[in-house]
Amino acid sequence: MKSLYKTSLAAAVALGTCATAPGTLAAEPSLDINLRTLYFNRDHREGPQDREAASQALRIDYVSPYYNGLIGFDASVFAALKLDGHKQDEYIGMLKADGEDTDSYAKLGQAYLKLKLGENTELRAGRMSLTSPLLYDDDSRSTPSSTQAVMIDSTLGAANLYAIYSDRAVNMAATKFEKYEANGEDYDLYVLGGSYNFASGLSVQVAHGVADDYLRQTYINASYPITFANGNRLVLDAHHYDGSDDGDLYGSDYDSTLSNLAAGYTAGNLTLTLSYQAIGGDNGYDYSWDGFDNDNHILMTWNSVQYLDFNSADEQSLQLRADYNVASVPGLSFMARHTEGWDIDAGTEDDLKEQETDLEAKYVFQNGSLEGLSLRARVAHVESEQFSDVDEVRLIANYGFSAL
């Protein structure tokens, strides 16, 4: 569901659309290795079967230079060794489905040719993990999801422009790239987008995507920081999604909007964020590009949290969040947030409510033999009148290092 690294959404949005931006095209090869140990426990207090799994994941990323200053090839191996998991635990996306059980897996998660077109433009073609607003591959389990695509990305001064064509994708724990499909027919996906950073500090992002005869989505984001004389900082952040069906393949008339407004105030090591979100139109907001792809991509909104997205029909939600970096222990940080949703229209019932409380502790080793290791604990408590109540615990250890 939600990314392991989605703890400061405003900062993530400001990073742009590519893991390697055109302005920093690689000149030397690199080989990075990441080990992730993940324990996941989702306790449904009633209804569905509980989910519990553990895995040891490996990710190897190779980034090539541009040979003759023109062409290169990047690749990533994603793998997960099953430590624990049974039967329907594959539904949490940590381990590969294997009949009525779960299993380890390995796949070539990224493999693409890259072509340098001038100093600030890059063309990629192949398998890749994307980080654009409407195609943001999820990395919240053992390994990321991935998209088969052709992407061109260009930086022009303070502007970044990109275009993406995709015909298939693979879920986080699956190994086969599947075509986008609905009602027995395949379709392709097209996304155009860009961002601009103004001298005042205001940053704006826009994107529009169309899945032929299935779905279309538009995304707009604006973020503006204000720094006060005492050094404290206020960040205003707004997100808006607009979605509608694009034809018969969707299976029904669909029309929905999602609007999210947030303000984050930082004083020293403490940041307090208040976020309001509202769903408009006739339906809940559907950010998936097809049915199988629900576990592939994430919403770039503050109220899309560890378990819930607060995106049901007519739903309004309010969140209060606190982030704290412990100055006396560099690398140690805490996060707490509570999100309340109300006015949910579930078809046969309306005015339903739901809420989620999330707690997180993280420690990143700063030096010594353990530098590069981070330890993270995430806890979620969910109460919902439309879904089952849930308690969830995730324990994550990440260790990354460069082999070149």
Give me the mean pLDDT over the 21-31 stretch: 65
Other CB atoms closer than 10 Å to residue 368's CB: what's the count? 7
Q: Classify residue 3: in a domain, yes or no.
A: no
**pLDDT, tens digit, 9 for 90 and up, residues 228-239:** 999 999 999 999
Residue 176's pLDDT is 92
Per the model's pLDDT, the better-predicted residue between 85 and 68 turns out to be: 68
Q: Classify residue 4: in a domain, yes or no.
A: no
DSSP secondary structure string, 176-213? SPEEPEETTEE--EEEEEEEEE-TTS-EEEEEEEEETT
**pLDDT, tens digit, 9 for 90 and up, residues 139-179:** 999 999 999 999 999 999 999 999 999 999 999 999 999 99
Cα–Cα dist 182/246, whole Å:
12
Name the domain count of the chain.
Answer: 1
**pLDDT band, residue 2 (cuts 50/70/90):** low
Q: Classify residue 387: in a domain, yes or no.
A: yes
Residue 90's pLDDT is 67
Q: Classify residue 15: in a domain, yes or no.
A: yes
Give me the mean pLDDT over the 101-122 stretch: 94
* pLDDT greater than 70 at residue 6: no
Which H, E and C letters describe 49-86, residue by residue? CCEEEEEEEEEEEEECCCECCCEEEEEEEEEEEEEECC
What does R_g of the chain's alpha carbons equal in angstroms?
A: 21
Cα–Cα dist 339/315, whole Å:
12
Q: Which of 50-59, 291-300, 377-386 bottoms out in mean pLDDT, i.e. has the lowest?
A: 291-300
For the entire predicted model, the pTM comes to 0.91
- Of the segments 6-10, 49-53, 301-305, which one has the largest average pLDDT value? 301-305
**pLDDT band, residue 191 (cuts 50/70/90):** very high
* pLDDT greater than 70 at residue 273: yes
Q: Which of 45-59, 82-96, 112-126, 368-382 bottoms out in mean pLDDT, i.e. has the lowest?
A: 82-96
Cα–Cα dist 66/63, whole Å:
10
Residue 13's pLDDT is 43
Residue 116's pLDDT is 95
**pLDDT band, residue 88 (cuts 50/70/90):** low
Is the distance from CB of 401 to CB of 372 less than 8 angstroms?
A: yes
* pLDDT greater than 70 at residue 208: yes
**pLDDT, tens digit, 9 for 90 and up, residues 333-356:** 999 999 999 999 988 888 999 999
**pLDDT band, residue 107 (cuts 50/70/90):** very high
Other CB atoms closer than 10 Å to residue 48's CB: what's the count? 12
Cα–Cα dist 43/395, whole Å:
15
Residue 292's pLDDT is 56
**pLDDT, tens digit, 9 for 90 and up, residues 289-315:** 876 544 568 899 999 999 999 999 999
Residue 85's pLDDT is 82
Residue 89's pLDDT is 67
Percentage with pLDDT > 70 across the chain: 91
Residue 190's pLDDT is 97
**pLDDT band, residue 50 (cuts 50/70/90):** confident
CATH number (domain holding residue 385): 2.40.160.10
Q: Classify residue 138: in a domain, yes or no.
A: yes
* pLDDT greater than 70 at residue 217: yes
Q: Classify residue 291: in a domain, yes or no.
A: yes
Residue 3's pLDDT is 45
- The distance of Cα 316 from the centroid of its chain, to the nearest Å, equals 22
Secondary structure class of 248 (helix, strand, coil):
helix
Q: Classify residue 2: in a domain, yes or no.
A: no
* Domain span holding position 280: 9-402
Give me the mean pLDDT over the 210-233 stretch: 97
* pLDDT greater than 50 at residue 265: yes
CA distances from 90 to 93, 144, 217, 266, 381 (A): 5, 15, 29, 39, 21
Cα–Cα dist 392/193, whole Å:
35
Q: Classify residue 185: in a domain, yes or no.
A: yes
